[in-house]
Every structure is written in C-alpha cells, then in structure tokens.
Amino acid sequence: MTDLNALIAALPKAELHLHLEGSLEPEQLMLFAERNGVDLPFNTLEEVKAAYNFSNLQDFLDIYYQGMSVLQTEADFHDLTDAYLKRCHADNVRHVEVFFDPQGHTERGLSFATPVNGILSALDAAADKYGITYKLIMCFLRHLPEEDAFETLAQAEPFLDRIHGVGLDSSEVGHPPSKFERVFAAAREKGLKLVAHAGEEGPPEYVYEALDLLKIDRIDHGNRLLEDDALIARVKDAGLTLTVCPLSNLSLCVVDDLKDHPMKRMLDLGLRATINSDDPAYFGGYVNQNFVETAQAVGLTRDHILTLARNSFTGSFLSSEEQAVHLKNIEEVAAANP
C-alpha cells in the first residue's frame, strides 16, 4: 500500500490560495515589532500564540490586521515572503500564486510600493534560490467601499506588468461580490486575472454573483456552493477551480471537525478542488500539513492525492506548456510510489 504521507511529500505541488500576511509566524511578528518599534498588546510569544485562536472569520481578521501592523519596510515584506517560500521549498511546492492586501498597508500610511517591492524582490529570487515560480495577486478588502478598490487599482498601475490578477477577501457576509462589479470589470479591461473568496461563510448566492457579475476565473474556498446542486453542475461543467483550505476551514469553524470536511465529496463530484494553506501561521500548517491532515481525516486515497497535485497545476495561471512540465513530474513521482 502506498505510504500516502511519503507520496504527499514527494509530489510537486502548486499553492493557489495563500495570503502572504497570513504567513506571519508569531516569532516573526515579535521580531518585526521590535525592530520597527511597534507597540503590541502582547508581551510574550505565548501571548501571541494564545491570541491565534478563533471561532469565525471576523475573529481571525481582527488579529490578522493587527498582526500586519508590524510590517513597515520593504525588508519586512521581503523577509516575510522569503520565509514563506522556504516553507514551500520544504514541502515541494514548485509554483505559488500568492495574495497580498495592499489596502491593509496603505490604510496605515505605507506607500503602495513598499509591500509590492519587498514581496517581488523575494519572489524574483525564488526561481534561483528555491526553484519556485510565482504569480502575484492583489486583493481588494471587501469591507471597504468599491471606491477605495478603484483607488488601489490606480495605485497599482505602475506595477501591472508584475501583478497578475486581483482578488477579493476580508469579511464576506454583508459584502457580496455585486459591491465590486465595476472595479472587477475595470481590472478585466486591464487584462488582469480575476479571483474572489466566495462561499467561505457567504451563501451560494455569493458564488453565483462572483461568477455572473465579477466573471471570475477561479473561486477561492467555495465550500457553500455544495448546498446548491445546479451550482455544483455549473462549476463542474465550466471546469472552474476551487482553492480550498481545510485547516483554515477548521480554525474558522466553517467545519466543526476535519472529518466533516467536504474535500472528498468535492473530488468525487468531479469538481477541480485544490488544497491550500490560506493563512498558515494562523491556521496551524502549510501545504503538506493540510494534505496530510485532510487525507487522514476524510480518508483520501492515492488517486485523490494525485488528482489534487494535478489540479494544483491545471488550476493555476501557468501556460499549458508550463503546466505540462509539472504534470509530467507528477506522473514520474506517481510511478515511483505505486
């Protein structure tokens, strides 16, 4: 019988749903706070770790925005991104499509260029340093007005050759995709790829809006689309990818127990689901940990694991030629792990 954990470790994978600010480990948070003289309501590492404990999305977001206040300089964003890429390398993640929240930084007085330059310098070095390729996606914060998203899109203009897409994150319920229809149309006009968090806490109607109004290329999370059979059929027929985040779902009580996670059901329905870490410093694990714990909890088979690895590349924004190289590597690892 295949050793699934060995297979998971050996497989090349892509990560398609990762918020760089959510990779801020408690140790780094303390370090950056000290080097930048930022006052935090925590005195010890234990107090930070104790605060990383949530029962819903908003609880998490409150800590997440507080945490990112320690990020002040290009060097901070570079170091944060590099530490994440090092984890990816350890997990055999070969390609990443990562989010950042520019408004979380410009709102505190940083220039748009500070996070972007720091993040891109680490991402650009990753090909040589770790053999990892990337696409960068900037997210609009959905609890803010659409006007602010337009302003962010304007600030991004000088960087648009290096930013591959836009996303939509933050507090979902009460901030439906329809609120951002115009700014997503403007981003589409500029040739940007479009993704949106939908159906994490929000109802299936939000997934419909993300498809019909925002015209997204990929769905982030999407768990609640399973409540609607017509929507399942539509997402499946369109071959849309879902960037699912099992340990995040457990931490934010989208599922009460990992055994109840719908990953197996999604795959058995033929949906193109992928496994991702979302905010790994806050939710207890990077990509391989998400694979291992989910496989064990819901009983994923060797075939499921191979499908997930393939989906991570076919669901990416890499060209089909680039995808083919990774898919060939997956088949080689599969053959070596019968």
Site of interaction with ligand HPA (CB under 6 A): 19, 22, 57, 64, 169-170, 197, 200, 248, 278-279
| Neighbouring C-beta atoms of residue 66, cutoff 10 Å | 14
Q: 74 vs 293, which CB is nearer to Zn ion?
A: 293
| Residue number closest to ligand HPA, CB atom | 169
The packing angle between helices 146-156 and 181-189, to 10°, is 20
Site for Zn ion contains 172 (CB under 5 A): no
Spatial contact of 190 and 211, defined as CB atoms under 8 Å apart: no
315 interacts with, out of Zn ion, ligand HPA, none, CB within 5 to 8 A per kind? none
Q: 134 vs 283, which CB is nearer to ligand HPA?
A: 283
Q: 12 vs 102, which CB is nearer to ligand HPA?
A: 102
DSSP 144: S
Q: 244 vs 306, which CB is nearer to Zn ion?
A: 244
Catalytic residue among 97, 172, 200, 293: 200
Contacts by 260-266, CB closer than 8 A, 24 or more apart: 261/294, 261/297, 261/298, 262/223, 262/226, 263/294, 263/298, 263/300, 264/298, 264/299, 264/300, 264/304, 265/226, 266/226, 266/242
CB of 99 to Zn ion, least distance (A): 7
57 interacts with, out of Zn ion, ligand HPA, none, CB within 5 to 8 A per kind? ligand HPA
Site for Zn ion contains 82 (CB under 5 A): no
Residue 14, classed as helix, strand or coil, is strand
Q: Is 74 a catalytic residue?
A: no
* 3-15 as b/e: b if 16+ CB within 10 A: ebeebbbbbbbbb
Closest CA to 54 of 280, 283, 275, 286: 283
CB of 233 to ligand HPA, least distance (A): 26
Residue carrying the six token digits 């109840």:
260
Strands annotated E in 101-244: 133-141, 165-169, 193-198, 218-221, 241-244
CB of 256 to ligand HPA, least distance (A): 17
CB of 319 to ligand HPA, least distance (A): 28
Q: 19 vs 310, which CB is nearer to Zn ion?
A: 19
170 interacts with, out of ligand HPA, Zn ion, none, CB within 5 to 8 A per kind? ligand HPA
Residues 275-294 that bind Zn ion (CB under 5 A): 278
CB of 254 to Zn ion, least distance (A): 11
What amino acid positions are annotated as catalytic residues? Answer: 200
Q: Which residues bind Zn ion (CB under 5 A)?
A: 278
